[in-house]
Amino acid sequence: MRAHATLLLVLLTSVAKANDYLWVDFSAGLPTTFALENADGMELRGDIYKNIDLQKAWQACRLPDHGYTAFSPTRSTDASRPEENRLTLPAVTIGSADAHVVWEARSVHHQIAETYRVEAKVAGTDTWVTLCEAEADRGQWQLHHASLADFAGHDVQVAFVATTCNGFALAIDNIEVGIPTKARFALDNRTSHYICADESAHVCGRLTNFGTTTVWDHLVVEVEGSEVARKAVPPLAIGQSLTIDLPIPVATGRTDYELIATTPDGTRETLATDFVVAGAAKRVMLIDRCTGTWCNNCPLEAIEVARLEQQFGDEVLIVEQHINDAFMLADYYYTKEFVFDIPKLVVNHLPSSIKTDGFTAAMSQPAEVGISARATLNDDGSYQAVCHLEGTTDGVVRYLLLADLHTDALESTYVQRNAPSSYSWEEYYYQPGAILPEMSTYRNVPVAVVEATDGAATVQRPADLPADTPLTLVAIVQHPTTGEVLNCCRVTCHDEDGISPIRATQPAHYYDLQGRRIQHPQRGLYIHNGKIFRQS
């Protein structure tokens, strides 16, 4: 059915009384006072989502970490231009220049970022003003705000407009219009988790206010219930941030801490809990993501991988160890008891970490040996690698060559391809109709592993890898008996001039909006490097 006209589920705002303040969290579904609009009249695809009816421009669906949220699909049957699905809020009287619109947003898929606009207009007029254009974070909720000061003295309507053709969903939640009354803070925590025992540990981050002016007086760090650091907090107006850098004492091993906000009347609010691990050397944790292209449950595990990467950054190195498919590297398939079932996340090759109760323990082990490495890029495309170990160890050094792999010949019946979909836990991801080639990429797949002699080895690039395949070389030091990874690092690669990067340039491939590779793009919309562009 083509949406030739605006779908209204509201009493017209011209006859409705404006609100003085609006808050909605979609816990009861999509309010009947909201207007839904398929702005350009294109027919929506209805066959590429699970449990999301794409015949509707917006609707409420449930995510496990947020309850019900507003969803908009972002793909249409017209491949020549983006769909623009509009969600228009009822009118709110803006009585002060302090008024804002505050909301949370995320791209439902954890690898594709949906784009959208937030617009406003004086109720009863036709002129929309763009407040901001945004790219939703991939799989993570983010707070946003925009000022409504220019609309002071007017009744205003705010609209959220989904603007991409990716074929996934944009989620919006916890919308507030008016002078904020709720304390809403986002903590961007960048604490280093793994340090040398002789280094100082710091609780770091940036605290941003997205709600009412804070009444906190201090930020306090506590270890085992005892205060170890504090910082005075000045009043933070909406949009203002406070940089956090609090040194804390740590002992060898794991130190858990809480970051707490306090008010003058003694009220306490825990903002974050985290940890620091101190050892003889800094550590990078090797995490094997045991996966397979045939597994319908593996996409859900990919969500956890994305969260680990966000929390730990370059303090973890995640390898996709494929089981029983074309991407499996037999030399790296270390012990079958580790991967008797998938999906699994295995830390440092420790069998105990495949269970939930062992994962925290594996992530808490301090490093007793440090490792650093570099390599020379040879004329034949191989790498001559050398590593240096700090500390006493009889460990075995291995070099692992990782590649980003993908195939163009994908069957749409494969739900798991590229970790996009899951039928369980009500986390809704893309169910393939036509799969975007960028989403068929498997990242950091082992393609070669070589044991070093005296820390040195030549690592050959597999002959069947295309020349433009992105590569990463890593060095790992393992216990000679158990195979436990004691530490690892990404290898710095240099050519004769000392400036060659290890990671190759991404392939310059172009695709149409149905995911088909295009050799010679003509006029229209195409996808290149994960972004949509117009070829004129």
The 10s digit of each residue's pLDDT in 384-442 is 999 999 886 788 999 999 998 875 543 333 334 433 443 333 444 444 344 444 556 78
Number of Cβ atoms within 10 Å of the Cβ of 214: 20
* pLDDT of the residue at 523: 58
- The widest CA-to-CA distance across the chain, in whole angstroms, is 81
With a CB cutoff of 8 Å and minimum separation 6, the contacts of 472 are 401, 402, 403, 444, 490, 502, 503
Report whether 532 contacts 165 (CB < 8 A). Answer: yes
The helix (run of H) or strand (run of E) holding residue 312 is helix 298-312
Whether the model clears a pTM of 0.85, i.e. scores above it, the answer is no
* pLDDT of the residue at 358: 85
Report whether 170 contacts 71 (CB < 8 A). Answer: yes
The helix (run of H) or strand (run of E) holding residue 35 is strand 35-38
* DSSP secondary structure code for residue 151 in this structure: G
Residue 217 to residue 235: CA distance in whole angstroms: 8
* pLDDT of the residue at 442: 80
Residues in the chain predicted with pLDDT less than 70, given as ranges, are 1-17, 38-56, 64-65, 73-83, 110-112, 139, 165-168, 296, 299-300, 334-340, 392, 407-440, 494-536
The secondary structure of 367-406 as a DSSP string is: BSSEEEEEEEE-TTS-EEEEEEEES---PEEEEEEEEEE-
Residue 366 to residue 250: CA distance in whole angstroms: 12
Residue 272 to residue 260: CA distance in whole angstroms: 7
Cis ω on the peptide bond leading into residue 343 (within 30° of 0)? yes
Q: Nearest 5 degrees, angle CA 433-CA 437-CA 439? A: 80
Residue 251 to residue 249: CA distance in whole angstroms: 7
The helix (run of H) or strand (run of E) holding residue 356 is helix 356-362
Q: How many CA atoms lie within 13 A of 320 on its CB side?
A: 29
The 10s digit of each residue's pLDDT in 166-183 is 666 788 999 999 999 888
* pLDDT of the residue at 370: 93
Number of Cβ atoms within 10 Å of the Cβ of 64: 9
* pLDDT of the residue at 135: 87
* pLDDT of the residue at 46: 37
* pLDDT of the residue at 503: 45
Q: Lay out the sheet containing 396-405: strands in order across.
A: 442-451, 396-405, 471-478, 485-490
Q: Nearest 5 degrees, angle CA 117-CA 128-CA 98? A: 80
Where does 89-240 show beta strands of DSSP type E? 92-94, 100-107, 115-122, 129-135, 142-147, 154-162, 169-178, 185-189, 194-196, 201-209, 218-223, 226-232
Q: Nearest 5 degrees, angle CA 190-CA 112-CA 169? A: 115
Phi, psi angle pair for 120, to nearest 5°: -145, 155
β-pairing, 129-135 vs 7-8, is unpaired
Q: How many CA atoms lie within 13 A of 247 on its CB side?
A: 3
Residue 24 to residue 488: CA distance in whole angstroms: 47
* DSSP secondary structure code for residue 418 in this structure: T
